[in-house]
Structure 1
Amino acid sequence: MYHDRMLAARGVAGWADTRLVEAIPVDRAPMEPKQDANASSGFLAPLGEWFDEDYDFTGPEGDAFADALLAQVEAIEVRKRARRQADVDNHQTFLRKLAANGFRAFRSYHPPLVAVQLAPHAYRGRAGWLNGVAMKRELELLREAGLVEINIGVWGEASTTYSVTPDFMIAAIRARLTGRNITHRLEPHRLVRLYRTNSDDGDLIAFEPDDQTRRWTEQIDAYNRFVAAQDVAMDLSSRDKARLLAQMNAGRREGIPRLKQPDLTNKSLFRQFNEGSFEAGGRLYGAWWINCPKEFRPMIRINGKPTVELDFSGCAVRMLYHEKGMAFEGDPYFLEALDACEREHDLRKSHFREGVKRLTQALINGCEGGSPERIRLTKEEAVRPYFKQSHVLEMIRAKHEPIAQSFQTGAWRWLQRADSDIALSVIHNLMEKGIVALPIHDSFIVAEGDKEALRLQMTVSYLDQFDHEPVIN
């Protein structure tokens, strides 16, 4: 590859952490205004991974590398007057973050592009140093120093992107940078988020912190600091890595760079509330393991140790019973008629279980007037041709008649609030014992040796919430 030949010619040792991808030719021309999308010569830059101000360098190698880049930029910068100290701090922070994003993209994505916004009011409500005007200015300095190349997007068509240059990567390799020198840390004010509807519209609501939100913020911030110091990785064979990347890339929108290795950098959690209320939702999101496909989660390692995952069985269904002071025994997704069909037609045991689970969730998560019988089930969830979805829904309502009045009432709002309260309690209390627990909504991953400590804490936290014992798998 071009990078390998280039580095060999300059006498630079190979990078042990990942293979180098082909370089994009460096264009040292000044940034041009956006081109007309209708012009025959218009360049539509590919979309990139969006710039994320929460990425930064860490460790002595990361700090030394960032300082060297800053010195390189300062050597070519011409200013009529010195910056104020506050501006110096913002300038240095901005350059570090741009470089960290570029290095992360180079390691994990192809093409290694970072998408940015240059409009004056871009990034409103984000970090004080972050805005479109400053983004353009700092990128131009990095370009003039030969550290990035920039592709100007077309308004309404494609984002402006940047990528690091061969010179940047040669310096990174000589500094012995690896993935461990990139960190992701959310600032405290971004750890509790309140959306007008949900995260899909991105419409955040500003709120005045109170004792409750401050406590959540302190707990999540402490956890993020704790887990940042731990090695949370995956033990993947070449075949498993290829399968995982294929699954992850299949879910990425067209035009977005493809993953060339799993990006396990983000270990920061945040809590998300919806519909403008702290009583709706509240689940923990953000960290990479939350989106890790279930079949690959057994390959997660915590500080090099094999892990085990425990979850609350039939969590939402049992919560509905327990909230009414009633116990529930057995499998909430077992239906006698479907079990008989499996035996009659020689189907595998629990052939219909995933479909029943999905339809039950549709009833719990739905609102009045919804049509759960019309939801699309995957091939693995299908109940046809043996049953109609509407027929299975009737059986679910009959089985759970004591709680059926809660179906299609938007019960998900308080159920997610309850399970997220439990999740925060579990990870926070285990953290205080020095145990790393990785939350995935109503399940948790710990090192095998911490399995029983996790089981006990899950039971205690659930009892505190509902005064009933949970069923834990």
Structure 2
Amino acid sequence: MDMHSFNDTNENIDSETRDEPLSYDWRPTSPIDLAQIDQRWSKKQKKAAEAIIAQIYRVAVETPGRWISYSRTKAWWHKDRFAKTPYSYSIVTGIVQRLADNGLIEHDRRPPGERGRQSRYRASNDFMSRIAAEGFAVDYHPFSLLRLKDHNKNLIPYQETTWTERATKILKEINDATVAADIDCPNTTQIQRAKNQYHRIFNGSFNAGGRLYGPWFQNIPKGNRPSITIDGEATSEADFPSLHVGMLYNLVGGVPDGDPYDICGFERDAVKIAVNILINAEKRRSAYGAIHHGLAAKFGLKPQKLVHAIKKRHPRILRFFGSGAGLYLQRQDADIALQIIQSLLSKNVVALNIHDSFRVQEQHHGLLIETMERALSDYITSPAAGRKVLKFIGHKDETPPPSNAEVCLRFCPSDHETVHIPARTLSGSSDFESALERTGNCQGAALARALMTHLGAGAANSNTHPLGQEAIRRRIYAAADTVAVQPKPSTGMAA
């Protein structure tokens, strides 16, 4: 599949109007004189206080007036959201109260039991003059490189495994190289550029999400990226156009027909947003609601008509809409990104990751394109990658039905009419493409051979294919657009 046939962008820009959650990612570059606040501090309290003050300072400098939210509910803290840090319910609430009592913060303490909003605080007018003296600076030290979150985006603890240890080691190596590079951009501050390390965010399990977040260059306006320099040299960027749409088409053994967001009568930006909502939503009803609220007023369109046009444009991947596929695709594109970054680092080339795009020194642009194409090719030809997505989406079991099942696989190729393949044919012991021909289903046999050729090495015979007959059967079954029960007999093209 052509690398330039897909794109999926996620700017990951935090809203300046939204409260920033409490974090343990910032430290002062030199010790803070905490005696002016209180004489008594335990070792844990000192570490926690310095981290809290460093975050207050950074937020006050970057986005003056912005609040930092935190929970005063004991049950929230009992879930070990800040495991392996000095943060706890008593330590954090105690420090916040001390800062408020000393007039260093404005404290918006919410009543017990109030739902929907957490307590919050922000720097007072006296904070800078009393705490952040001349020369005060902070550094970014992410407390955890792998972060697992629940459906409410709250951190949840996890057990260390061989995989998490290996994943953390890989990210540390990438962060060390990124920190060592001199990455700069006009109109950015030292405190912005201090946030120069990645962490990965997973959603519910380590099979979902996993993209790289954190560094400042992910969060600047897209128009400013061309001004980024690495070690004083100009940079260039390359991305995967419509990545997630392309990945879904790959799962069903096809490729998008042209620009997947090009639909007559609708603005491309509106189509792109709607398609990604449909892919990410766990239910179609919630997707339709999100499209209505997010696009109707902005683009002046009727969401129902747009959704109908998208379904008509992409019948091959219709079954993935409202399946929650997006998070599992993110895990796959994160693995692709890590492969690209590691491969370039092995050649002493630092690549800045902005989810599905990468920026390198201009002299290495050709190498970047080559590395991206190779990584995408590895993904496309890996049956395991596709099976992972299909397994965790759970939208349709990919195991072929029993041989006596009265079911039929229905395929909707974009280049010709609908094709039916009886499931019992795929469950037979002989090569099923020959069995399809013997029953007169030449179109089914041709489609099966085309899918096998797409799956590897140009092999178009299930007996000799490197994946083996059973693996091929599973992939063909998974690629079906629908599974019909008790279908009408089919000997060729559907009527």
Q: After TM superposition, is the score higher than 0.5?
A: yes
In structure 2, C-alpha distance between the alignment counterparts of 1:278 and 1:221, rounded to whole Å = 18
In structure 1, C-alpha distance between the alignment counterparts of 2:236 and 2:297, rounded to whole Å = 25
Partner of residue 307 from structure 1, selected from 235, 244, 250: 235
- Which sections of structure 2, spanning at least 5 residues, go unmatched? 1-16, 112-116, 383-453, 455-495
Instruction: State the identity as a percent.
Output: 27
Q: Does 1:449 align with 2:363?
A: yes
TM-score by structure 1 length? 0.62
Q: Does 1:320 align with 2:248?
A: yes
Alpha-carbon contact 1:47-1:115 (below 8 Å) kept: no
Structure 1 residues 422 and 393 mapped into 2: Cα distance closer, same or farther (>3 Å)? Answer: same
Task: Give 1:131's aligned residue.
Answer: 88
Partner of residue 291 from structure 1, selected from 213, 219, 229: 219
**Which structure 2 residues correspond to residues 421-436 of structure 1 after superposition, within 5 A?**
421-436=335-350
CA-CA distance at 1:383 after TM superposition: 6.9
CA-CA distance at 1:162 after TM superposition: 4.9
- Cα deviation code 1:197-246 (max 9, x no counterpart): 2xxx134443222222222221122222332333434323xxxx8xxxxx
**Which structure 2 residues correspond to residues 49-448 of structure 1 after superposition, within 5 A?**
50-57=21-28, 62-63=29-30, 66=31, 69-70=32-33, 73=35, 87-88=42-43, 90-111=44-65, 125=80, 126=82, 127-135=84-92, 149-156=104-111, 159-163=120-124, 164-169=127-132, 172-173=133-134, 176-177=135-136, 181-187=137-143, 190-197=144-151, 201-236=152-187, 263-274=192-203, 276-328=204-256, 330-335=258-263, 337-338=264-265, 352-370=267-285, 372=287, 375-376=291-292, 377-378=294-295, 382=299, 384=301, 388-448=302-362
- Cα deviation code 1:181-206 (max 9, x no counterpart): 4221213xx22223332xxx134443
- Which sections of structure 1, spanning at least 5 residues, go unmatched? 1-45, 242-259, 339-350
- Cα deviation code 1:9-56 (max 9, x no counterpart): xxxxxxxxxxxxxxxxxxxxxxxxxxxxxxxxxxxxx99755432101
TM-score by structure 2 length? 0.60
Alpha-carbon contact 2:279-2:320 (below 8 Å) kept: yes
Alpha-carbon contact 2:69-2:120 (below 8 Å) kept: yes
2:24 aligns to what SS in structure 1? coil
Alpha-carbon contact 1:104-1:182 (below 8 Å) kept: yes
Cα RMSD (Å)? 3.9
In structure 2, C-alpha distance between the alignment counterparts of 1:316 and 1:208, rounded to whole Å = 30
CA-CA distance at 1:352 after TM superposition: 2.0
1:183 aligns to what SS in structure 2? strand
Counterpart AA for 2:250: H
- Cα deviation code 1:55-109 (max 9, x no counterpart): 013xxxx33xx2xx44x73x99767xxx9xxx54x35533542443344244324
1:278 aligns to what SS in structure 2? strand
In structure 1, C-alpha distance between the alignment counterparts of 2:76 and 2:324, rounded to whole Å = 35
Alpha-carbon contact 2:248-2:317 (below 8 Å) kept: yes
Structure 1 residues 399 and 102 mapped into 2: Cα distance closer, same or farther (>3 Å)? Answer: closer
